[in-house]
Amino acid sequence: MQKLTIKNRKNQNIVVLLEPAEKQKGLAFVMHGLSGFKEQPQIEIFAKAFRDNNYTVVRFDTTNTFGESDGKYEDATVTNYYEDLEDVIAWSKSQSWYEKPFCLAGHSLGGFCVAYYAVNHNEEVKAVAPISPFISGELSLIAYGNEEIDDWQKTGWKIFKSKSTPGLIKKLKWSHMEDRLKYNLLLDANKLIMPVLIIDGEFYENDTPIPVENQRLLFNKVSGKKSCIL
């Protein structure tokens, strides 16, 4: 395993874990969710599934999360997470181990990002596994509920305790939701022409459930060979 630091389009540091395969049979990028980091247990499980099949695996901390890359969590947006994924993949294209088509896997917001990349660059993607992905900004509003959204918009902040890290208080600006409302994966999900694996269960993003019904909406729109585990 190699730990590397690269620059994104904003000249911020992104810390990458590269796990080369001895006899490479493929390449996979694995992405964490909102406030996550590259060493989370679920991210390690996804990476191991690829490593066990002789894939070179790339994991990374986005900017504006609680990992090793630059930025502050309070500034996190869907756009900055997605752009960091694009920038990591763009960097990889100059490396000796790069090959396409490659696989993508991501959890929660990372699940959205890998699916959205596959929509926009489907000729590069061999298969994609969005794990409990958020689907659209509008559906996120519904999941949070009117009272919580009204308070968030009025105060400008969503403040809550971390479930995974006791004692950690998370703060997220209202601008995150404004940015999130720009995105709707359902609009172009028919461009997911590669094999797609959707997995959903009791995953939570910011203590807010991502309803199983949302995953079914995505599943029904996908054009390629698909499997769904709920």
Q: Read out DSSP for 112-148?
A: HHHHHHHHHTTTTEEEEEEES---BHHHHHHHH-HHH
User: Would you state the pLDDT for residue 209?
Assistant: 61
CA distance 10 to 62: 12
Q: 167 pLDDT band (50/70/90 cuts)?
A: confident
Whether residue 181 has pLDDT greater than 50 = yes
Q: What Cα–Cα distance (Å) separates residue 206 from each residue in 6, 73, 96, 159?
A: 28, 12, 38, 9
Contacts of residue 180, Cβ cutoff 8 Å, sequence gap at least 6: 77, 78, 134, 137, 140
Q: Of 3.40.50.1820, 3.40.50.1100, 3.30.450.20, 3.40.50.300, which CATH number belongs to 2-136+184-229?
A: 3.40.50.1820
Q: Is the model's pLDDT at 208 over the cut of 80?
A: no
pLDDT at residue number 137? 94
pLDDT of residue 25: 97
Say if residue 162's pLDDT is above 80.
no
User: What is the structure's pLDDT at 200?
Assistant: 85
pLDDT at 206: 45
The pLDDT of residue 168: 82
- Greatest mean pLDDT range, 54-68, 139-153, 163-177: 54-68
> In sequence order, what DSSP letters do the residues of 207-221 get, joined into one string?
TEE--HHHHHHHHHH
Task: Identify whether the C-beta of residue 47 lies closer than 8 Å to the C-beta of residue 20.
Answer: no
Give the domain ranges of the chain. Answer: 2-136+184-229
pLDDT of residue 204: 47
Residue 220 backbone class (left: φ over 0; alpha: ψ -120 to 50; beta: rest): alpha
Q: Is the pLDDT of residue 205 over 50?
A: no
Q: Which of 84-93, 162-171, 192-201 has the highest mean pLDDT?
A: 84-93
Query: What percentage of the chain has pLDDT greater than the value 70?
Result: 93
Cβ neighbours, 10 Å, residue 117: 21
Residue pair 180/173 in contact (Cβ under 8 Å)? The answer is: no
Question: Looking at residue 166, what is its pLDDT?
Answer: 75
Q: How confident is the model at residue 202 (pLDDT cuts 50, 70, 90)?
A: low
Separation CA 34–CA 16 (nearest Å): 17
Mean pLDDT of the chain: 92
Least confident of 51-55, 92-96, 137-141, 226-230: 226-230
